Amino acid sequence: MSLIRGIAAGAVLVVTLGSTGLTTPSDARAFPAFTMFRGAGLEKPVLMYHANVTTDTIKGVVVANLKNDPLALIYTTLVATSPVAPDDPRIVATFEVAEFFGPPWSALAGPDGRPTRALQFEEANHFSKIHVMRDGPPIWMNPVVAPGGGDFSALRVSDTAQVVLAGLGLKIR
């Protein structure tokens, strides 16, 4: 099964782990339950959720393994960079990002990771933007979380994340 099919098929979800008694490693707990993208040529918003999560046992404790979770891959591979102004002439396209972060949103995840009801972009509790640059990688301005819990206003979208986002239909390169 391809990574993108895994997103659509939804495997075991990180957001359902709490209800099954599983834990996640401390550096892997801060991800939105859902992330929605719109704009820059998308016909309709695209929703992303946790998928391909497996379990490991570490020192007798069952924990979530997020190494193949596309949502976790995107957030953990962001790299701090310099911010860009919204009117920077190097920007060729911008995606608006709605991030559904925290326990109330995690509680809406069904067994396949999909939300148990339709979500509207405007309902999210955090908003950010991804600027596709003429030269160089896309820049994500003000995402809800940053790798290692850092407080960065601008993060470079990694090659790995670009592949995942392109698979969702975002013209990111």
Q: Tens digit of pLDDT for each residue in 66-80?
A: 788 888 889 888 888
| Residue 40 to residues 68, 96, 106, Cα–Cα distance (Å) | 27, 8, 28
Calculate mean pLDDT across residues 151-173: 89
Phi then psi dihedrals of residue 65, to 5 deg: -105, 110
Q: Which residue has the higher pLDDT, 26 or 165?
A: 165
Question: From the CA atom positions of the chain, what is the Rg in Å?
Answer: 16
Q: Domain map of the chain by residue range?
A: 3-167
Q: Tens digit of pLDDT for each residue in 3-54?
A: 333 333 333 333 333 333 434 334 444 688 899 999 988 999 999 998 887 7
Quick count: other Cβ atoms within 10 Å of Cβ 170? 23
Beta bridge pairs of residue 14: none
Lowest mean pLDDT among 4-13, 86-95, 155-164: 4-13
For residue 86 the two structure tokens come to 């919204």
Task: Please tell me the distance from the alpha carbon of residue 51 to that of residue 1, in angstroms, as a whole number.
Answer: 12
Q: Which residue has the higher pLDDT, 24 or 163?
A: 163
Q: Which residue has the higher pLDDT, 121 or 52?
A: 121
Instruction: State the DSSP string of 50-116.
Output: --S-EEEEETTEEEEE-TT-HHHHHHHT-EE-----TT-TTEEEEEEEEEE-SHHHHTTB-TTSSBS
Task: Please tell me the distance from the alpha carbon of residue 110 to that of residue 143, in angstroms, as a whole number.
Answer: 24
Task: Please tell me the distance from the alpha carbon of residue 57 to that of residue 9, in angstroms, as a whole number.
Answer: 25
Q: Tens digit of pLDDT for each residue in 95-111?
A: 999 999 888 998 998 87
